[in-house]
Amino acid sequence: DGGITQSPKYLFRKEGQNVTLSCEQNLNHDAMYWYRQDPGQGLRLIYYSQIVNDFQKGDIAEGYSVSREKKESFPLTVTSAQKNPTAFYLCASQTRQNTGELFFGEGSRLTVL
Amino acid sequence: GIQVEQSPPDLILQEGANSTLRCNFSDSVNNLQWFHQNPWGQLINLFYIPSGTKQNGRLSATTVATERYSLLYISSSQTTDSGVYFCAVGSFQKLVFGTGTRLLVSP
């Protein structure tokens, strides 16, 4: 089935460690996004990529890094510079050929101890 | 940047009741989408509706772009409708999410 797969679903890390969250899509979508969600809040955009080997900062990019070496994959690294990394992270994809509907993965919940 | 306000913040319904959720936004947009987040965190796209009216089963949505608001109607609500409903507005590439309406439908 076509879709977006995020892994891991749950992740615990110690302060000061970098963490990489995986996002893979087989929808043949050009654009991919990373959002962060805090309890009781809406989603905030971290990074997005419209095409391979290109990505743009969103509203809260500090302390995060991404790469887009393949169309299907858009991993997010939460670095030790991110001051408050505990959150729910959601990856989404979007085709450029249609209306721009976003499709989301199931999310990764990161807890930093 | 663009501001998005959703109301009400919380809503409790008896199964079978109807409801209307509202999304106000501060600037003209060419992209507006409604999402449902289930209790496990999964976000499902309900509507892409920058203007006009759409219907999908018991759900329908209307956006009046000139007055900068959108409405999501839920008819004959079911317990599976529980969760958080988000409105997101903006450009093709960048959507700004509201803080959501948390809906609880009781049997």
Under an 8 A CB cutoff, do A90 and B43 touch? yes
Is residue B99 less than 8 Å (CB to CB) from chain A? Answer: yes
Per-residue confidence at B91, pLDDT binned at 50, 70, 90? Answer: confident
- Least Cα distance to A111 among A40, A42, A6, A39 occurs for A39
Token duo for residue A40: 């009781």
- Using a CB-CB cut-off of 8 Å, the residues of chain B touching A57 are none
C-beta neighbour count of B66 within 10 angstroms: 8
Model confidence pLDDT, tens digit, residues A31-47: 999 999 998 888 999 99
- pLDDT exceeds cutoff 70 at A99: no
CA R_g for chain B: 13
Which positions ≥6 away from B57 have C-beta within 8 Å?
Answer: none
Per-residue confidence at A59, pLDDT binned at 50, 70, 90? Answer: very high
- pLDDT exceeds cutoff 60 at A98: no
pLDDT in the model for residue A41: 85
Cα–Cα distance between B48 and B89 in angstroms, integer?
A: 10
Using a CB–CB cut-off of 8 Å, the residues of A that contact B are 31, 35, 40-45, 48, 50, 56, 58-59, 88, 90, 92, 99-104, 106-107, 109
> Taking CA atoms, what residue in A is nearest to B90?
A100
Token duo for residue A5: 């797969």
Q: What is the mean pLDDT of residues B75-83?
A: 96
Cα–Cα distance between A33 and A47 in angstroms, integer?
A: 6
